[in-house]
Amino acid sequence: MPIDPTALDQALARIQPHVIDAHLRFLSHELLEGRAPGTRGGTLAMEYIRGQFQRIGLHPVDGAYLQDVPMVGLTPHPTLALQTPQGAMEPRYEDEYVLEAGVPEEQVETDAELVFVGYGIAAPEYQWDDFKGVDLRGKVLLIRVNDPGTEATPDFFGGKALTYYGRWTYKLEEASRRGAAGALLIHTDESAGYPWSVVRTSNTGTQYGLAGAPEFPLQVRGWISESVARDLLARGGYDFATLMADSENRGFRPLDTGVRVRASVRSQVEPVRTANVVGLLPGSDPARAAEPVVMTSHYDHLGVRDSADGERRVHPGAYDNASGVSLLLALAEAAAAMPVRPPRPLLFVATTAEESGLIGSEWYARNPLFPLATTAAALNVDGANLQGRTTDIVPIGADRSSLGDLVRAAAGEEGLEVRPDPHPEQGIFYRQDHFPMARAGVPALAFDHGLTFEGRPEGWGQTWYEEFVTKHYHQPSDSYHEGWDYAGALQQGRVMLRTALDVAWSGPLPAWLPGAGFTRR
């Protein structure tokens, strides 16, 4: 059945700047205290979104607008001492290391050998094994992030594009599978794609996880700065640059650094009450009631945390991601007002705890409200364009599934060029809330906005992006500003809604392409 052109035009016309701005102004206000999960501000944001879903006419699912996500919060107070052949090192917490318990316990301690395992990857499809059968049980693993792929080797670990093997989450999972006591990730600005200030603000203060026994337990887990890594290796008799070069080769083997890690983490452990907010726009075909198009955006941020100057400050998370959930609300209102419903339903999900590791979306993927095997697609937005119109759009993952054709058609209707991810080395595909759905088999992508801005000098968008990442990402300065230009957000939202409605009106379920790395289950 072709999409109803009148319904589409009416829906697109209802996506308005003042609607996005009204939601964004409220959700990023300091009174919401940064919207951390389970806090007063996080609960206010959750209830606000629930009220908006109800107001615009979305239906609850199984009688509820909230999908409870059982979580626990741990506020860590760590100590870290590194016993090297040349004496003890005690790096400075927050400035040189961050550390948390990898299990929900009030006190954990580790006294273990530190073993450098390179990238910490076991990838048989690339004939790569950093572990070589070495028994790492009870050790603390020192791990570099990213993977061995380079622009010169496009068919090896995705070339310049980061694979999931390069994500820090994979490193911790693999360390746990190896029976390690802990893991320390080496941060460099180049490998992470962001400065140490992001590590500090993201990994201090209360940390969140799903309640119950963790799937990948570690006694301790954290990050150390590049300078600390260089120093501790040098004290063990090793050159940092040489080890990094050695770990680029398949023949690399785990290296006992000669350093012993003595770590302790005392944590305040508290249950956290939070939820994904869900609203359903039923479809017109009862035979396709179990084939929703899921549209997601996270509403949480970092809450109130210590800043670099030592002061407690609200981290408002305006761009990241009050803007995205504000756009989602605008799209939901536009779709709900359509005079004709598409055959498939639209399910709007404002997820919680994305900043803590995609926890809300992971919970939904494990506990779906509709069967994942028949869920049509998952479309995410994280960061609405607040800087004006662009000539391009960057749908992350468009090259992995048949959704790409629909996105290209939608972008074409808006006069936009679909461009590839300009920062493939940062692994954005694995860092947004569509990813747990993709890993569960649902064709999925993220609607990132373009960086080629109309009326701006060449390169202006890239400069803006780099400035945001280095100065404002996960910082108190990511705050609301009067006079934002929402014309780009309208473009972004119109492409996303066109794509969603095309899926909701189209025939066969979207499918993964060969080599995408995912399959429907």
Gap between the Cα atoms of 71 and 150, Å rounded: 38
Residue 310 has pLDDT above 80, yes or no: no
Across the chain, mean pLDDT equals: 96
pLDDT score recorded for residue 306: 81
Mean pLDDT value across residues 166-170 = 95
Task: Label the pairing between strands 346-351 and 444-449.
Answer: unpaired
pLDDT score recorded for residue 309: 74
Q: Which two tokens mark 6?
A: 């009148």
Residue 457 has pLDDT above 90, yes or no: yes
Assign 251 to helix, strand or coil: coil
Residue 472 has pLDDT above 90, yes or no: yes
Gap between the Cα atoms of 249 and 432, Å rounded: 30
Residue 411 has pLDDT above 90, yes or no: yes
CB proximity list for 317: less than 8 A, separation 6 or greater: 28, 34, 35, 300, 301, 302, 478
Residue 10 has pLDDT above 80, yes or no: yes
Residue 1 has pLDDT above 80, yes or no: no
Assign 40 to helix, strand or coil: helix
- ω into 146 cis (within 30 of 0): no
- ω into 321 cis (within 30 of 0): yes
Assign 295 to helix, strand or coil: strand
DSSP character at residue 351: E
DSSP character at residue 221: E
Task: Label the pairing between strands 182-187 and 140-144.
Answer: parallel
- Banded model confidence at residue 307, pLDDT cuts 50, 70, 90: confident
Q: Which two tokens mark 108?
A: 């954990």
pTM across the whole model: 0.95
> Where do we find the tokens 């900043």?
355
pLDDT tens-digit map of 61-112:
999 999 999 999 999 999 999 999 999 999 999 999 999 999 999 999 999 9
